[in-house]
Amino acid sequence: MPQLDGEKITVLTIKNRKEAGEKISAVTSYDYPSAKIASKAGIDIILVGDSLGMVLHGDKNTLKVDVDDIIYHTSMVAKAEPLSLVVSDMPFQSYHISVEKAVENALKIVKKGGAEAVKLEGGRKRFNVIEAIINAEIPVMGHLGLTPQSINRLGAYKVQGKVKGKAKEIIQDAIELERIGVFALVLESIPLELAKKITEKVSIPTIGIGAGKYCDGQVMVFHDLIGFTNLYLPKFVRKYADVYSIIYDALERYINDIKKENFPGDKESYHLNKDIDEFLK
Ligand code: KIV
């Protein structure tokens, strides 16, 4: 059922937020219930991120996620008919082989998955691909700074742009991405001073994750934000809930109730009709 309250958020809404000086909220979602709740809570952008490889599949990085995974999870999110803008990640390999393949994959993610925009990582090496996807009428969100799909080249997930040369490169890439036509830009794990500079220099919204308070918006991984795991979390994560403890406690009480024969009780059981009751005696 479409939600009746509120207005559908589009790439235009997102662009206008910056002009209006309104901060943008974004969160990952990989399924129907989390998309429903994110939309209802008023999240601007739902990101079907390739972080799902680590968060849902238990992989050690995002590299194994493929186009079909993104389509599968995007379609669950799209079924929730969120008011939030649905942006899906282009996974590793889906835009690295050729411009044609990249456009074909982006089109699939939109047509089969129901994404309203795609996000892809990288600067100067990806300009031609990004331009071609935009020319295919698909809005693109850029992603600079720490690009997790580069993990094997980088060697570790670490803050980017701390030295002058790299900081300059990120600024130049951001400016060029705006010129090419990306509608927003994720800045991941860069110093807040650099994120501030970029945010001032470009007129498209910057969405930070580990990039400090000066960005035009923030994005976080849903499972980190709600405290779904008790594993290591990066410094930039703020846990707004401790869902892990809530689930753990519920499961412990469930096990206990089964063992003590407290569950199911009469309230949770069905009864025969009176006449059949007699028949079983
Ligand atoms: O995959 C993802 O969830 C992301 C965000 C962390 C920006 O790219």
- Contact criterion met (CB below 8 Å) for 227 and 218: no
Burial class from Cβ neighbours inside 10 Å (0-12, 13-18, 19+) for residue 12 reads: exposed
Ligand 1 mean position, distance from CA 39 (Å): 18
Burial class (CB in 10 A: 0-12, 13-18, 19+), 99: middle
221 lines ligand 1 (CB under 6 A): yes
Dump the DSSP string for 222-263: HHHHTT---S---TT---S--HHHHHHHHHHHHHHHHHTT-S
Q: What is the arithmetic mean of pLDDT over 35-44?
A: 98
Residue with CA nearest ligand 1 atom 1: 49
Q: Where are the domains of the chain?
A: 11-241, 249-280
pLDDT band at 1 (very low <50, low <70, confident <90, very high): very low
pLDDT of 2 above 60: no
> CATH 3.20.20.60: does it fit domain 11-241?
yes
- For 212-254, what is each residue's pLDDT tens digit? 999 999 999 999 999 998 888 999 999 999 999 999 999 999 9
pLDDT at residue 281 greater than cutoff 90:
no
Please give the helix or strand (H or E) that residue 102 lies within, else none: helix 99-108
What digits encode the pLDDT tens for the residues 85-131? 999 999 999 999 999 999 999 999 999 999 999 999 999 999 999 99
Candidate from 89, 160, 187, 236 with most ligand 1 atoms within 8 A of CB, to mutate = 89
Token representation of residue 165: 């040369």
Residue-wise pLDDT for 180-209, tens only, equals 999 999 999 999 999 999 999 999 999 999
Helical axes 192-201 vs 164-180, angle rounded to 10°: 30
Pocket flag, ligand 1, residue 9 (CB < 6 Å): no
Q: Give me the pLDDT at residue 3, please.
A: 45
Q: How many residues are present in the chain?
A: 281
- Half-sphere exposure (Cβ direction) of 167: Cα atoms closer than 13 Å: 13
Q: In Å, what is the CA distance from 107 to each residue of 85, 90, 127, 137, 139?
A: 17, 11, 18, 9, 11
Q: Is the pLDDT of residue 277 over 80?
A: no
pLDDT, one tens digit per residue, over 252-273 is 999 999 999 999 999 999 998 8
